[in-house]
Chain A
């Protein structure tokens, strides 16, 4: 429980919305995809040997979570030390396959302040856009992060 008193001003909100992270890139490896599928307990052959329908091996839908450090920096200091993941909204536009290089950029879509059962919270909506080496958007992930 935080006892901070913090006010998110309109100015801070305006400065935050639209802030982007540095791009992060990852080469997609077949062994990594197989280990991820095993870890999530999904034995779908699309992730290990490929299927006629998928035209070869593809990555599981949430595999892109393995790309880390995609965090836009807020342009102000907030006195919160804890972070909760509130959830995600994924949209898929194409497959991710071994051999692809995916580049991700996160953008602050919204930020708001609320007081709830865990005290004062700063709730940020971050949209990550994942592009492949052909500059095609393969997925977007809009997630809610809660600092408190």
Chain B
């Protein structure tokens, strides 16, 4: 179980811990099965190359899920994800490390909610942000 981060612990500019993931072709097949997205560019190299890609590519929706896992992991068991946006700007390939990074962009209260906006993204081995996004989470207060 991950540790809980509290609203009082967070300030604008604070960085989220960097996480590196190593998606494999096997994971893309798992994701195809679990999501029902069987488009061949994600597991059939010949097919992918016939469409002009250099190799099979990671599902955009899997990258969206990775950013979701990154943010909810950081927000801890009592954190609640309220919003998650993601843009697919570049292709990512399996068998290459993909790095999740982020920082806190805004800390505010709205109604009963302690909200934190984060800027998050996935980076390829060349350091390009292939998958930028934003997230809003509610964090518990130490005085709850």
In the assembled complex, the CB of B53 is this many whole angstroms from the nearest CB of chain A, namely: 12
Q: Quick check: A62 and B34 within 8 Å, CB to CB?
A: no
In the assembled complex, the CB of B100 is this many whole angstroms from the nearest CB of chain A, namely: 11
Partner of A40, one of B31, B37, B85: B31
Of the candidate stretches A13-21, A87-95, A99-107, A125-133, the one touching chain B is: A87-95
Of the candidate stretches A3-11, A45-53, A72-80, A108-116, the one touching chain B is: A45-53
Chain B residues, Cβ within 8 Å of A53: 77-78
Q: Quick check: A42 and B65 within 8 Å, CB to CB?
A: yes
Chain B residues, Cβ within 8 Å of A84: 88
Residue B18, interface by CB 8 Å: no
Q: Quick check: B77 and A42 within 8 Å, CB to CB?
A: no
In the assembled complex, the CB of A71 is this many whole angstroms from the nearest CB of chain B, namely: 13
Give the bracket for the number of chain B residues in contact with chain A. 20 to 34
Of the candidate stretches B66-74, B102-110, B111-119, the one touching chain A is: B66-74
Residue B60, interface by CB 8 Å: yes
Partner of A60, one of B27, B68, B87, B88: B68
Q: Quick check: A88 and B31 within 8 Å, CB to CB?
A: no
Q: Quick check: A85 and B77 within 8 Å, CB to CB?
A: no
Partner of A41, one of B1, B27, B82, B86: B27
